Amino acid sequence: MNTPKIAITAFSSISPLGNNSDEVWEKYLDKKHCFTKLFLDQQETSVAALNAESKRIVTELRDSDIKYKFLDDSVLFAIAASRKAVHNAGWKTNDVFGINIGSSRGATDLFEKHYKEYLETGKAQTLASPTTTLGNISSWIAHDLQSTGPEISHSITCSTALHALLNGVAWLRSGMADKFLVGGSEAPLTDFTIGQMRALKIYSRLDQDVDSWPNLAFDFEKTQNTMILGEGAAVCCLESGEKENAIAYITGVGYATEILEHNISISAEADCFQKSMKMALRDIDLKSVDAIVMHAPGTIKGDLTELRAIEKVFGSELPLLTTNKWKIGHTFGTSGLLSLELGLLMIQHNNFIETPFSKKTNQEKEIKRVLINAVGFGGNAVSILIEKA
């Protein structure tokens, strides 16, 4: 049975890179990272926060409706990105389309504030529960866009956004929907979240005022973990079949979960990634894959095990390899869709973006097919193959 093509007809994000594709591309061509410093967890901490213009957009959105004043940033980020994507795709408010926007942590900031107040007073605010439940992201987007299709929220750690894409593809291929809005949103720049990452000993201790690259994602010679957190939302509009306004097509999807030895384990050669990549690349000539946007969070083991998995799948002739976390940090559940954004932009501009501290590669090849990887705690790997429309 022939499965229908899945077209990406629009993409939108709000992140430390900005909030429109031209700005994002210009930021990628500029080899500077987007890290700033916040005073978190009783010390200065490198993070990747939204820029001033993006923060203005979120503030105006919060002030536009009395109901929005009580929403977490993760919800507002997602609404802002979704509005633009749906507009760019030409979808109307009365169109029937599904929504699946996930988040690894959900309403992080709001939950921490409500819980702190509860500990201090012994009472919870009236809206504490409905504004911190995970499902409120997709629910509020459905409200804002006045959509009437199915709406789903979920958390599958750092591969959440690509799992949303998997869900959208499944609905479209089944014929149960013709259009699906998928993505992820994350606002994790809080004391407790940073404290959790420090407790795992994976947060970067490099000083961005001294070191050129505080997050050495994709640097396989680093001697310490260098993960830095970022915030933002990214969504894309999926439609079944060939479309005149397609910016790219999804031609392969793969997923896998591996057996855990402990809570954050991943095997030495990332078996889950090997399986997810092989599934996404089924019936595809491996030499036709031009580039891979790696998950590569900046941890020693995470980066290296993914590289080993890629070498196992592709052998000695590797595609061009890159990541975006050296520039915008790790955005948890959003990260896979922001990696997809980089893949789409490289295809659109036919230009490979490498990490500034990596060994120089042959960048003359045309960028037509890009593989996107994401994985999270629990060994939940997803691989998505996209190609030029």
Rounded distance between C-alpha atoms, residue 377 and residue 76, angstroms:
25
Cβ(160)–Cβ(103) below 8 Å: yes
Cβ(385)–Cβ(280) below 8 Å: yes
Rounded distance between C-alpha atoms, residue 182 and residue 58, angstroms:
20
Intervals of the chain under pLDDT 70? 1-3, 260-268, 360-363
CA 45 to chain CA centroid, nearest Å? 22
| Residue among 108, 105, 160 nearest 374 (CA) | 160
CA 355 to each of CA 30, 174, 287, 335, 360: distance values in angstroms, whole numbers, following the listed order: 11, 39, 22, 16, 9
> What pLDDT does residue 379 have?
79
> What pLDDT does residue 1 have?
41
Among all chains, which residue has been given the structure tokens 């030895």?
Answer: 261
> What pLDDT does residue 260 have?
65
The three-point CA angle 39-42-48 to 5° equals 35
Cβ(140)–Cβ(71) below 8 Å: yes
**Encoding tokens for residue 341?**
């954004």
The three-point CA angle 285-370-10 to 5° equals 130
| Residue among 229, 233, 235, 236 nearest 325 (CA) | 229
Q: What is the mean pLDDT of the chain?
A: 93
> What pLDDT does residue 263 have?
46
pTM for the predicted model, two decimal places: 0.96
> What pLDDT does residue 270 have?
84
- DSSP state letter for 68: G
Q: Which domains does the chain have, with CATH numbers?
A: 6-240 (3.40.47.10), 251-388 (3.40.47.10)
**What kind and span of H or E run contains 261?**
none
Cβ(80)–Cβ(242) below 8 Å: no
